Structure 1
């Protein structure tokens, strides 16, 4: 018997609680290892997203001025046609059946990116198409799995025909979706088509928008302003018939590229914040570990002193 601990009956609790302290140290060590492993993953994901973002940002930066100019030109042409032309894609009629093309991502871990787009889609339906929704005449085409999963679960009428576009993103894939929407509008399956997506600004900023796709919106002219003067070559009817579908294909492709760049930017920002949070958590855990270790050392010293005092006594 060299100390007071050894003299205690086995049925009595250990006043120094050394087993509990050892368990606390082990638990904190395990948490530190777990956070370090998670931090390695978040840093790797940030690097991957940064590399993908550069390519996606280049693509949308090159596409946006071209697409915007085409859209502006088309809107001006539609606004300045006097009549006598049957422009099915610009036909405005009472809105009974609505199509929303909602562009999200296939994967998560990108902050509130997908949640904000889904929220905007729900808000657009609630504010603009509540009556149509009650009648079951609002359909949602999803580009991206996350939006399809959320909106289907929420009870919306969804279509998954184009949700896997991001698996093989190309102009041809997006063109197929645009042409399907145009054909459905011409066949009066829908009276209005809107695109809900995220417009890329920079890695940390996206603007979530609901944009009219069909009927083709007219340019907002200034009161008393002059009409744009266009010279058509070849004939007006032939030119517009070929021009409208091509510009609309480009518009949807631009929206998908915007969404692609926004996703990678949002994921890079989210993983950067997660890595910073992991650093802060590691700092706190190491402080807790050092305190527990100091308490264990103090307990051991107390045992030694108590044992020495008992022997001297």
Structure 2
């Protein structure tokens, strides 16, 4: 009789553990879909804003609308997807900037940055990341698979425009993390500098932060859920989220890097920029834009933003 009771107890415990595993796995798949599968994201808000003259970057955005753009196409680094980019040439320029959009943004959303760099005399190449805009793809990679695409875009610029090109890589938000991750790769010598604006320290750090900020999720169940999500990401996308680290890649970077972050950024917490800044091994500058929220530094401080970028680049791009 006693042995039967023990068996029933163990059976009950096993059933409970299995149920908990099923629940957590189901939740992990739900959050994977929310975070990594392209589609409308309620936490991002609407992007269909009407351009108004009161917009501090109205001039730049109108310039972009009226400017002719070439379409460049390329297969992704793993040859799975067709990627597309806007290319806007500058007159007789041997300077090209590759502009990397943020999470669920497109090349058209980077209009003001195309204008900013074109005004400085740069050709601009602005790709849609895989699974965003007009580029093919199943999943958002948060910069880790995209870093290899950026390297391929760099090589395409040199192939099409010649080895005399001097290349700068600029990224915003997820694009900033992509830029930092790219900086740790073996790259052609024509890559002269990187600029990152409000990028995260690692994909795992950012996912954990958003789980807490968006869902008020305490450390339990946040920790096991993120680990399950990371495991699903390994199966679907090809990497564990902790391995997708800006900091680890910056440790391998010796090129100049300019770090920009808003002082009031709560989406990618401002504290992350200090960790990124300390990690890189090359020449570096840091600017924390006063009172700016996520990805708002240019709109809030257009003159200062332009001036600081121009001042940084003049030392490395001739």
Task: Provide TM-score, normalisation by structure 1.
Answer: 0.26
Per residue, is there more helix in 1 or in 2?
Answer: 1
Per residue, is there more strand in 1 or in 2?
Answer: 2
Task: Provide TM-score, normalisation by structure 2.
Answer: 0.25
